[in-house]
């Protein structure tokens, strides 16, 4: 089992690369991506846990280097290894383990003008429910949240997983959709901003599904 875990990041990296290189990709909302990057400010990618698999390929080797929040679980170790092979940094922590240290690290990353990635409903759900961490991070840093939806026309859906995780397959269509940046000002109501973020994430995800077919 330890041998398999050690080999897993390399195998997953190779498979995701195969998917990315054999699929036709369509991007929408790139103007929102550019708006989020204006002035060299950091920003926060937000995407549902269910749709994260392909984002390691589509956002590989970016500059400045993005960093994504990953849990301290054993599965998180594998995910961090896959991300590293795609040139993406991992910040290890979650609401249950290492939250304070991870938040401070993410604030430093954003202050340096780098993007940070978070699954607002991860790592354990409930699915498509925005937890407050991403909102507090945006409020504290002053950086915008950029909603991101991703879909693949050929995929396996794990119906028993808490998020019904999507595992894409090669030789299909990929769609990625950015929504308008969302900000959380110091006096904003966190619950209201959470509802707004959920609506934005659902919207870009549904649009990605439509475009991918």
Domains of the chain: total: 1
pLDDT, one tens digit per residue, over 170-182 is 999 999 999 999 9
pLDDT, one tens digit per residue, over 48-74 is 999 999 999 999 999 999 999 999 888
CATH number at residue 80: 3.40.1130.10
Instruction: Report the sign of the C-alpha dihedral through residues 137, 121, 177, 27, in that order.
Output: positive
98 exposure class (CB count in 10 Å sphere: 0-12, 13-18, 19+):
middle
Q: What is the pTM of this model?
A: 0.94
Q: Is the pLDDT of residue 142 over 70?
A: yes
pLDDT, one tens digit per residue, over 105-128 is 999 999 999 999 999 998 999 999
Q: Which domain holds residue 90?
A: 2-212
């Amino acid at each position: 089992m330890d041998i398999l875990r050690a080999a897993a990041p390399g195998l997953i990296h190779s498979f995701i690369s195969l998917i990315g290189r054999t699929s036709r990709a369509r991007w929408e909302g790139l103007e929102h991506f550019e708006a989020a990057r204006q002035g060299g400010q950091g920003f926060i990618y937000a995407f549902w846990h269910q749709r994260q698999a392909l984002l390691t390929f589509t956002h590989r080797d970016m500059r400045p280097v993005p960093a994504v929040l990953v849990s301290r679980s054993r599965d998180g170790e594998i995910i961090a290894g896959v991300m590293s092979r795609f040139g993406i940094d991992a910040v290890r922590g979650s609401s249950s383990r290492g939250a304070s240290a991870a938040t401070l690290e993410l604030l430093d990353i954003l202050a340096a003008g780098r993007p940070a990635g978070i699954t607002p409903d991860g790592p354990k759900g409930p699915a498509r429910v925005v937890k407050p961490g991403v909102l507090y991070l945006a409020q504290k840093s002053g950086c915008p949240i950029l909603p991101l939806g991703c879909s693949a026309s050929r995929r396996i859906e794990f119906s028993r997983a808490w998020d019904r995780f999507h595992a894409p397959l090669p030789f299909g269509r990929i769609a990625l959709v950015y929504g308008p940046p969302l900000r959380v000002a110091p006096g904003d109501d966190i619950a209201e901003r959470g509802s707004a973020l959920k609506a934005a994430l659902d919207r870009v995800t549904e649009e990605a599904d439509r475009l991918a077919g």
